[in-house]
């Protein structure tokens, strides 16, 4: 079920669902033309590619860079690439990377300062955002980007670097045809079909001897690019096949999250015994926060040159699972792993709604897959619900937290 | 609540230290003025009691420090800093003439307007007196607008008492009371020994028509708030100033989260009824 909170949509590039542009069909080779067109327009085209046994996002120059015929098999604490029977280019779910790596990079220079006769002078890092074209953005990832838009652009203070990278980005989305074993976007209301937030949206149609893409433009920029490709009007058969692709993914979700009352459930159960149970397994390694497409926390790292004449400040991804994260004089506020996991999960699924009007979870399953001990956020939420007190417990008999 | 948005909130602006006064063995109060021409939009009277700055020691690092001066003093940013880590040691050691970086002011403020017409309880533990000092000074300067003003302050020992001379002067003001307590006294101490909430029964105020402002360690906040509630002060007239790790100070880095609140943006001053349930849970 899609909860109201989960409906974060970016303001731009959204075609109203009622008046979607007519969809077109392009042949597989036109995907290469699409990449060329975007690169020729000055975009750094980032797409899926196989490296180190995983599908990661990196610069792509042509169709040959895409993971043709690969799929991923995911379970809690397990990720393996396997061959597919067909030559699908987007026949996998999601890998360890998300687009936040580009919009909200792992390290970013904020400023430089140098000593002067009069003290010191600070200069902002020159903004030089590359213009990214993202190829193969999943529905859950579009929602993740929309959520980070709220985090970085929605308050009094905007992240100006993020704003520049985001405004320049061209988004080619892909409807999911394969759900991963840890996917649960259907229950978070964030997928598997894309509905808004893209310039172009593709549905891969592969099989029966053909390999083509149904394409929908979601913005004027997208329509212009589409007009430059060799395309045909979509046939009824192609539209039906595209619908079946998404329905197949919906039916194949490996996980499910019950979202009804989840915020109240977590906020009223900070002393639930399950937190101790999780703490006995959690390594506080921070993997879940690194792979999460919405986790946004950063720290700063100040450096000086050896002579002490120049200093820089860099912003870097940080994680609420580290001891340093909550350190104030006297020690870490969240010294135990129990408190750190509770903070992460309660923030993600509950406080986020208070802060940004949306859940922080899009159901991509990365935190489950990439947890080295296989902690499963859907399983933990269900376990908390099963023995909960207060709001959100399964039978509504009144209990006192 | 907070001041107008700052144009470049992530860039430290150079301020010169013009005075440094030693308060205790490890704590100093610094007065800062903007380096000539470097901070064109600087307006010190725009900060509000309860707000904080991010203070940067060149090449060492940056920490949040509450403003402890009176906005009405004009022209100076005043910070009381205890040397507890590498950065705060460097800041506390900054001699007159040296330059520190300042970002801010940030955060919410003590509810001075709401407190007008009521008795005012200003309750501090340890260094928590520093963020309350602007409120105390403003309230005393506009004494006619408030009822009784009670300043309750707990310090570890006699050597750790902050603003010693000012405390004595504040207690002389008509309508004002200052009550001190120590965790550990020495032979010369003739005052109260014990925890801060113990001071509450000793001051006269109308619990139904009071505003309380609390700053200190969380355990002190919890017990003081409980004692005030017990005395009949409504939860929505109790305010606490909270502390968390901070890096950006503008609600983007995530470090200072306390439940659904970002302490840098929604706090540091928060109404007690909003945070009471969270304060009762460890390690939030």
What are the chain B neighbours of A111 within 8 Å (beta carbons)? 10-12
Maximum Cα–Cα distance for chain A, whole Å? 75
Strand A107-116 with B149-155, pairing: unpaired
Distance from CA of A394 to the nearest CA of B (A): 23
pLDDT digits (tens, 9 = 90+) for B31-53: 999 987 777 777 767 899 999 99
Sequence-separated (6 or more) residues with CB below 8 Å from residue B86: B60, B61
Do residues A260 and A1 make contact, with C-beta atoms less than 8 angstroms apart?
yes
Q: Which superfamily, per CATH, for B13-106?
A: Translation factors (2.40.30.10)
Contact A304 B59 (CB under 8 A): yes
Contact B245 A296 (CB under 8 A): no
Closest to B216 (Cα-Cα) out of B121, B101, B126, B111: B126
Minimal-distance CA residue of chain A relative to B3: A156
The residues spanned by each domain of chain A are 4-251, 262-386
Q: Which two tokens stand for residue A147?
A: 């959520």
What are the chain A neighbours of B11 within 8 Å (beta carbons)? 111, 122, 124
Of B59, B101, B247, nearest to A299 by CB-CB distance is: B247
pLDDT digits (tens, 9 = 90+) for B111-162: 999 999 999 999 999 999 999 999 999 999 999 999 999 999 999 999 999 9
Residue/partner pairs of A393-400 with CB below 8 Å, 24 or more apart: A393/A265
Contact A328 B13 (CB under 8 A): no
Average pLDDT over residues B96-111: 96
Sequence-separated (6 or more) residues with CB below 8 Å from residue B3: B46, B47, B48, B51, B105
Helix, strand, coil content of chain B in percent (nearest 5): 30, 30, 40
Fold of B112-279: Rossmann fold (3.40.50)
User: In which element (H, E) is residue B165 found?
Assistant: helix B164-172
Contact A157 B9 (CB under 8 A): yes
Mean pLDDT score of chain B: 94
Distance from CA of B87 to the nearest CA of A (A): 11
Residue B20, chain A, CB below 8 Å: the answer is no
Closest to A370 (Cα-Cα) out of A307, A331, A321: A321
Please measure the distance between the N-terminal and C-terminal CA atoms of chain B and give it in whole angstroms. Answer: 24
Output the DSSP codes for B46-101: G--TT-EEEEEETTTEEEEEEB-S-GGG-S-EEEEEE--SHHHHHHHTPPTT-EEE
The predicted structure's pLDDT at residue A279: 98
pLDDT digits (tens, 9 = 90+) for A93-143: 999 999 999 999 999 999 999 999 989 999 998 877 789 999 999 999 999
Contact A308 B254 (CB under 8 A): no
Residue B276, chain A, CB below 8 Å: the answer is no
The residues spanned by each domain of chain B are 13-106, 112-279
Q: How large is the ipTM?
A: 0.94
pLDDT in tens, chain A (401 residues): 333 333 333 333 444 445 678 999 999 999 999 999 999 999 999 999 999 999 999 999 999 999 999 999 999 999 999 999 999 999 999 999 999 999 999 999 999 999 999 899 999 988 777 899 999 999 999 999 999 999 999 999 999 999 999 999 999 999 999 999 999 999 999 999 999 999 999 999 998 768 999 999 999 999 999 999 999 999 999 999 999 999 999 999 999 999 999 999 999 999 999 999 999 999 999 999 999 999 999 999 999 999 989 999 999 999 999 999 999 988 999 999 999 999 999 999 999 999 999 999 999 999 999 999 999 999 999 999 999 877 766 554 444 43
pLDDT digits (tens, 9 = 90+) for B184-222: 999 999 999 999 999 999 999 999 999 999 999 999 999
What are the chain A neighbours of B13 within 8 Å (beta carbons)? 122
Distance from CA of B157 to the nearest CA of A (A): 18
Buried/exposed code over A156-185 (b: 16+ C-beta within 10 A; e: otherwise):
ebebbbbbbbbeebbbbbbbbbbbbbbbbb
For residue A280, how many other CB atoms are within 10 A of its CB? 9
What are the chain B neighbours of A115 within 8 Å (beta carbons)? 58
Mutation target for B interface from A109, A117, A120: give the one with most B CBs within 10 A: A120
Sequence-separated (6 or more) residues with CB below 8 Å from residue A396: none
Distance from CA of A124 to the nearest CA of B (A): 7
Residue B10, chain A, CB below 8 Å: the answer is yes
């Amino acid at each position: 079920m899609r909860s109201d909170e989960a409906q974060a949509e970016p303001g731009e590039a959204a075609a109203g669902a009622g008046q979607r542009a007519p969809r077109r069909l392009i042949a597989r080779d036109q995907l290469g033309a699409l990449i060329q067109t975007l690169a020729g327009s000055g975009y750094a085209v980032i797409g899926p590619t196989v490296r180190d046994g995983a599908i990661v996002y990196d610069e792509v120059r042509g169709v040959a860079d895409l993971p043709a015929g690969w799929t991923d098999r995911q379970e809690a604490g397990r990720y393996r690439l396997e061959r597919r029977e067909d030559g699908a280019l987007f026949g996998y779910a999601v890998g360890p990377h998300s687009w936040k790596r580009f919009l909200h990079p792992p390290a970013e220079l904020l400023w430089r300062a140098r000593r002067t006769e009069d003290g010191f002078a600070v200069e902002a890092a020159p903004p030089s955002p590359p213009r990214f074209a993202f190829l193969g953005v999943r529905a859950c990832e579009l929602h993740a980007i929309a959520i980070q838009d709220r985090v970085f652009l929605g308050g009094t203070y905007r992240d100006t670097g993020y704003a520049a990278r985001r405004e320049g980005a061209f988004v080619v989305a892909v409807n999911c045809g394969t759900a991963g074993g840890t996917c649960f976007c259907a229950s978070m209301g964030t997928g598997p079909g894309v509905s808004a937030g893209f310039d172009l949206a593709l549905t891969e149609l592969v099989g029966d001897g053909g390999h083509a893409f149904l394409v929908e433009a979601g913005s004027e920029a997208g329509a212009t690019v589409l007009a430059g490709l060799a395309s045909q009007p979509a046939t009824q058969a192609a539209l039906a096949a595209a619908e079946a692709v998404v329905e197949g993914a919906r039916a194949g979700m490996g996980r499910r999250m019950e979202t009804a009352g989840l915020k109240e459930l977590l906020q009223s159960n900070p002393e639930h015994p399950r937190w101790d149970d999780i703490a006995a397994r959690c390594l506080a390694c921070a993997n879940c926060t690194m792979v999460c497409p919405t986790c946004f926390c950063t720290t700063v790292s100040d450096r000086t040159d050896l002579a002490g004449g120049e200093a820089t400040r860099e912003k870097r991804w940080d994680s609420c699972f580290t001891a340093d994260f909550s350190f104030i004089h006297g020690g870490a506020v969240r010294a135990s792993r129990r408190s750190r996991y509770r903070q992460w999960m309660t923030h993600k699924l509950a406080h986020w709604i208070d802060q940004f009007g949306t859940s922080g979870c899009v159901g991509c399953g990365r935190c489950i897959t990439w947890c080295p001990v296989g902690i499963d956020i859907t399983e933990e939420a269900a376990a908390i619900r099963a023995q909960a007190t207060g709001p959100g417990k399964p039978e509504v008999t009144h209990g006192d937290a | 609540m907070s001041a107008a948005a700052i144009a470049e909130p992530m860039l430290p602006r150079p301020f010169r230290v013009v005075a440094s006064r030693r308060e205790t063995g490890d704590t100093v109060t610094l007065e800062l003025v903007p380096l000539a021409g470097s901070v064109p939009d600087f307006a010190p009277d725009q900060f509000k009691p309860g707000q904080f700055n991010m203070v940067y020691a060149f090449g060492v690092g940056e920490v949040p420090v509450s403003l402890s001066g009176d906005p009405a003093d004009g022209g100076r940013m005043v910070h009381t800093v205890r040397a507890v880590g590498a950065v705060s040691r460097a800041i506390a050691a900054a001699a007159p003439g040296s330059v520190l970086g300042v970002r801010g002011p940030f955060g919410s403020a003590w509810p001075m307007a709401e407190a007008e017409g009521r008795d005012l309880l200003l309750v501090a533990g340890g260094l928590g007196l520093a963020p309350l000092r602007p409120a105390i000074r403003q309230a005393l300067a506009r004494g006619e607008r408030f009822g009784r003003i009670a300043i309750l302050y707990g310090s570890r020992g006699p050597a750790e008492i902050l603003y010693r001379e000012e405390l004595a002067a504040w207690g002389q003001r008509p309508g004002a009371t200052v009550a001190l307590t120590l965790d550990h006294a020495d032979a010369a101490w003739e005052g109260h020994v014990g925890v801060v909430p113990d001071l509450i029964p000793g001051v006269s105020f109308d619990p139904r028509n009071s505003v309380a402002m609390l700053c200190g360690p969380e355990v002190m906040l919890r017990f003081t708030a409980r004692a005030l509630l017990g005395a009949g002060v409504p939860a929505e007239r109790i305010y606490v100033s909270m502390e968390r790790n901070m890096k950006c100070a503008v609600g983007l880095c995530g470090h200072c989260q306390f439940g659904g609140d970002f302490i840098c943006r929604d706090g540091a001053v928060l109404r007690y009824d909003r945070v009471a349930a969270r304060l009762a849970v460890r390690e939030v």
